[in-house]
Each structure stands twice: as structure tokens, then as C-alpha cells.
Copies of this chain bind each other. A is one copy, B any other.
């Protein structure tokens, strides 16, 4: 099953897991120790993160190091960016307006 990044980061525990392994890969037990819930519960969250590509696993002996692949977040970032013009500052709104005006002027000049 191909998991969805949007859905993966919807859960606060999974966001905390990502944050915990963002700087340095950690094995499952180390991650689980950070949380109140059972290791198995964390493992399940991990599985979801792995399925959507947000986490990568590297076997090392009997341990498995989980590394965050945060570039997968760009899918969400890009989805949001397309709407950024709707909420940035009024200055930006002005800037956009001026850009538009300029664009229109250029088009007119070409004609």
C-alpha cells in the first residue's frame, strides 16, 4: 500500500518521531524509549513513515537504524506554496500587483 505523506504527518506522534531522528538516525528501541506508548505502537508508526518514504532503514547487525528522509516533505510544502500568495503580507500583495501591471505593460508593448 502506497502511503500518503499528508496522512503520515497528520499524527502528532509521527511528527515527533521525525523530529527525533531528523538529526541522527536511531534504532527502533531508542525511538520508542522517548515515548509513553509501547514499542510496538512506535514500530507501527515507523512502518507508516517508511511506507511513504519519510523514513529509511539501514540494517546494522541486529539493530535497524531509522533515518528521516525529510525531502519527502517537499510534496506537502509545494502543495502549500501554491496558495501562499493568498496569505502573505499586504506588501507582497502590492508587489504581486505591480508585477502583474508590469507584465501587462510588456504584453501591450509587444503588440
Q: Which residues of A contact B (CB under 8 A)?
A: 4, 6-7, 9-10, 12, 15, 18, 22, 68-71, 73-74, 76-77, 79-81, 83-84, 86-87
Q: Closest chain B residue to A69 by CB distance?
A: B87
Interface of A is mostly: helix
What is the CA–CA distance of A14 and B70 in the complex, to the nearest angstrom? Answer: 24
Give every chain B residue within 8 A of A73 (Cβ-Cβ): 80, 83, 87
- Give the top 5 A-B pairs by smallest Cβ distance, nearest first: A71-B87, A10-B10, A70-B86, A70-B83, A7-B10
Residues of B within 8 A of A80 (CB): 73, 76-77, 80
B contact residues around A9 at 8 Å (CB): 6, 10
Cα–Cα distance between A88 and B76 once the two chains are bound (Å)? 14
Q: A6-B9, A6-B10, A74-B87 are in contact. List 15 more A-B contacts (CB 8 A).
A: A6-B12, A6-B15, A9-B10, A22-B83, A22-B86, A68-B83, A70-B87, A71-B87, A73-B83, A73-B87, A76-B76, A76-B80, A77-B80, A77-B84, A80-B80
